[in-house]
A and B are shown apart, each in its own frame.
Chain A
């Protein structure tokens, strides 16, 4: 399967409603693939909080109506923040040749208190939500365990945040494209859930992203070398170890096998940094470095745009933004742009192989895709 068309709206605070953003990303991706809606055989829509936040469900029918391609099968996929990766995983395995996968989310019109609750719906209702475990609290506990186990520091977390903010300034579609962030800003930001500060958290964003998948290779096509998905228990209490996500490990093992590559063969990576600690855990689970080494790697600049293995060149969830349903698709849009050599000021040199890791909940679901040039 190939990624033949890509589209993405600006991430951030948007005045457009959910359906307009989804339509815009879809239209861009179709145009990029030199196709029209009439060429499609199926549509997959990735979305998480369309119900509670945007008061719009049944998005598969919304999309075919907008694109005026009624008649073809269409699906909505929800797997918390891994909705995007999961939608692509399913689309690849479908019997269809030409598929549109679009992810969209409208979150900024909802109050902070409501959003905290809605995002929390991805945790276990009884074991997590009832005990006040909002999402930053989950990752705060993970950060604390990582610190106690490996001696990871607040400076390590700040280095992730800073790198991603620096990258986002080269990405005109990023949520924080125009925000200058210093180490001082990060260190002085208020604590959200100890030890995590505001700048350890991804923002609440609106946005949409889309890819057109085709069985036949076309001019601009990027090859999907591997597509894997795995799950883990939903609640933190059901796990023995919080410093690693088994779902990421399982999915990436299968993906590396399928693509015939290892972490050291990768040129660029998009990882699910919903919180800074999540990027560190992802690096270790994906085999980029040994457990406990990730903080040092980031501080030494090895994952910066000009480093050994650039991670999240678009700014990641931290600074590109995290419109939940769109996130997993946007990661693939970024990788495809990088492998095509069209990433502008944030272009990674000689990028030929890239990996995207998309996580749902606190590691309950993980989707890993590996893309190759040509």
Chain B
């Protein structure tokens, strides 16, 4: 809600233009202080860029009489006065533990949203590679100046002490309880008392990490999906002791990253994996029982359920071993028979057919 003005010519633009086309002088920036709703329409038809309806388009007038449009998911009435929000989460500083695909995707999403990011790993060498990779990705659609500006917001460290002032630290180390426990012990020691400690776990319970921390109310699950930059969802998992304030702030940060946050209790598999894994397992069982072949199972799900890829191809992508491991975790935690993994999958792991990474899974690669 900023205007660019040429004071001598008394001309105004809604765009960040460099100079006045009339006198050639530089334009000055002026931000609105108050915005009054002078028109509103509720949009009920979806379009490609605005698929979630209903939403509202507000016609606003600021204290100088300049008009603006703003999309809002909340209803407003003509005459309402809106707060002029400062740039969202301009101050949020995000700590990221790990340098894998998830960590990289989370870092990219935060950087694109204008947040400062600090990434911690054990080795300087992996950090350097991480940074090069991020720079390459940024260069694809940003100018050189913008890439450089973005990289000034990316800090790399091997030292936990540097995470002291983060608003949130998101841990992305391997899905082993002891590895994650080590990270949480270090975070407890080095982070400020108000830093939210988040785990991007997909299969462990948040409550299994909370006891390691003096203030368990600041521990939360924040589960992203691969590839993070493309997948819009973030599961926010409140453990038994997680405070409302921690939940609120975490949701805010996830939303500032451009994600839609859903809230879920600390339960095995949360929402997505709880639904997905028995579904994948069912596909393996169909193959095991020779009800249909792999290609037809995948084709049926893709076209009949409008999934972007078939379940067997997806297991190959995840890794057959990882699939078995997650199924076993779900079974262990729920004690429910429906999470018993298909024996064909176990057999494939024994034979070293782990999917794409070994070039042989349900399909040959």
Closest B residue by C-beta to A114:
B48
CA distance A148 to B50 in the complex (A): 28
Instruction: Check if A117 sits within 8 Å of B67, measured CB to CB.
Output: no
Contact for B39 among A112, A116, A126, A141, CB less than 8 A: A141
CA distance A127 to B68 in the complex (A): 8
Given A112-B45, A141-B59, the answer on whether A235 and B14 have CB atoms closer than 8 Å is yes
Given A113-B47, A137-B57, the answer on whether A144 and B69 have CB atoms closer than 8 Å is no
DSSP majority for the B interface? strand
Instruction: Check if A117 sits within 8 Å of B49, measured CB to CB.
Output: yes
Instruction: Flag whether A94 is at the interface (Cβ < 8 A).
Output: no
Known A117-B49, A127-B69, A192-B45; further 10 A-B contacts with Cβ < 8 A: A116-B47, A131-B57, A131-B71, A132-B49, A132-B71, A134-B45, A136-B43, A144-B40, A194-B44, A237-B14
Given A133-B57, A192-B44, the answer on whether A238 and B69 have CB atoms closer than 8 Å is no
Given A235-B14, A237-B14, the answer on whether A132 and B57 have CB atoms closer than 8 Å is yes
Instruction: Flag whether B78 is at the interface (Cβ < 8 A).
Output: yes
Q: Mark A166-192, 1 if CB is under 8 A from B, else 0.
A: 000000000000000000000000111
Instruction: Flag whether A271 is at the interface (Cβ < 8 A).
Output: no
Instruction: Check if A113 sits within 8 Å of B44, measured CB to CB.
Output: no
22 A-B pairs, CB-CB below 8 angstroms?
A112-B45, A113-B46, A117-B48, A117-B49, A120-B49, A129-B49, A130-B49, A130-B71, A131-B70, A132-B43, A132-B55, A137-B41, A144-B78, A191-B44, A193-B42, A193-B44, A193-B45, A237-B59, A237-B69, A238-B14, A238-B67, A239-B67
Instruction: Check if A116 sits within 8 Å of B42, measured CB to CB.
Output: no
Q: Enumerate chain A residues within 8 angstroms of B44, measured Cβ to Cβ.
A: 190-194
CA distance A114 to B51 in the complex (A): 10
CA distance A128 to B71 in the complex (A): 9
Q: Enumerate chain A residues within 8 angstroms of B78, measured Cβ to Cβ.
A: 144, 148
Instruction: Check if A127 sits within 8 Å of B14, measured CB to CB.
Output: yes
From B66, B69, B71, residue with most partner A Cβ within 10 Å: B69
B112 to chain A, nearest CB (A): 16
Q: Enumerate chain A residues within 8 angstroms of B48, measured Cβ to Cβ.
A: 113-114, 116-117
Closest A residue by C-beta to B42:
A194
CA distance A216 to B49 in the complex (A): 50
Instruction: Check if B45 sits within 8 Å of A131, measured CB to CB.
Output: no
Contact for B41 among A113, A114, A144, A235, CB less than 8 A: A144
Q: Enumerate chain B residues within 8 angstroms of A126, measured Cβ to Cβ.
A: 14-15
DSSP majority for the A interface? helix
Instruction: Check if A137 sits within 8 Å of B43, measured CB to CB.
Output: yes
Instruction: Check if A140 sits within 8 Å of B69, measured CB to CB.
Output: no
CA distance A214 to B49 in the complex (A): 44
CA distance A190 to B67 in the complex (A): 30
Given A127-B14, A194-B42, A235-B14, the answer on whether A134 and B69 have CB atoms closer than 8 Å is no
Instruction: Check if B69 sits within 8 Å of A236, measured CB to CB.
Output: yes
CA distance A112 to B45 in the complex (A): 9
Instruction: Flag whether A145 is at the interface (Cβ < 8 A).
Output: yes
Given A137-B57, A141-B59, the answer on whether A120 and B70 have CB atoms closer than 8 Å is no
Given A141-B57, A144-B40, the answer on whether A133 and B46 have CB atoms closer than 8 Å is no
Instruction: Check if A193 sits within 8 Å of B43, measured CB to CB.
Output: yes
Given A127-B14, A131-B69, A236-B67, the answer on whether A120 and B47 have CB atoms closer than 8 Å is yes
**Lowest 8 A-B CB distances belong to which pairs?**
A116-B47, A140-B41, A132-B71, A117-B48, A237-B67, A131-B69, A194-B42, A132-B50
Q: Enumerate chain B residues within 8 angstroms of A127, measured Cβ to Cβ.
A: 14, 69
Closest B residue by C-beta to A145:
B39
Q: Mark A90-134, 1 if CB is under 8 A from B, else 0.
A: 000000000000000000000011101100100000111111111
CA distance A242 to B38 in the complex (A): 11
Closest A residue by C-beta to B38:
A145
CA distance A179 to B248 in the complex (A): 53
A250 to chain B, nearest CB (A): 20
CA distance A237 to B60 in the complex (A): 8
Given A126-B15, A131-B57, A131-B70, the answer on whether A136 and B45 have CB atoms closer than 8 Å is yes
Q: Which of B33-90 contact A (CB under 8 A)?
A: 39-51, 55, 57, 59, 66-71, 78
Instruction: Check if A116 sits within 8 Å of B57, measured CB to CB.
Output: no
Q: Enumerate chain B residues within 8 angstroms of A116, measured Cβ to Cβ.
A: 45-48
CA distance A131 to B67 in the complex (A): 13
A144 to chain B, nearest CB (A): 5
Contact for B51 among A113, A120, A148, A242, CB less than 8 A: A113
Q: Enumerate chain B residues within 8 angstroms of A195, measured Cβ to Cβ.
A: 41
A238 to chain B, nearest CB (A): 7
Instruction: Check if B46 sits within 8 Å of A128, measured CB to CB.
Output: no
Q: Mark B3-42, 1 if CB is under 8 A from A, else 0.
A: 0000000000011000000000000000000000001111
CA distance A128 to B39 in the complex (A): 14
Q: Enumerate chain A residues within 8 angstroms of B67, measured Cβ to Cβ.
A: 236-239
A208 to chain B, nearest CB (A): 26
Instruction: Check if A134 sits within 8 Å of B59, measured CB to CB.
Output: no
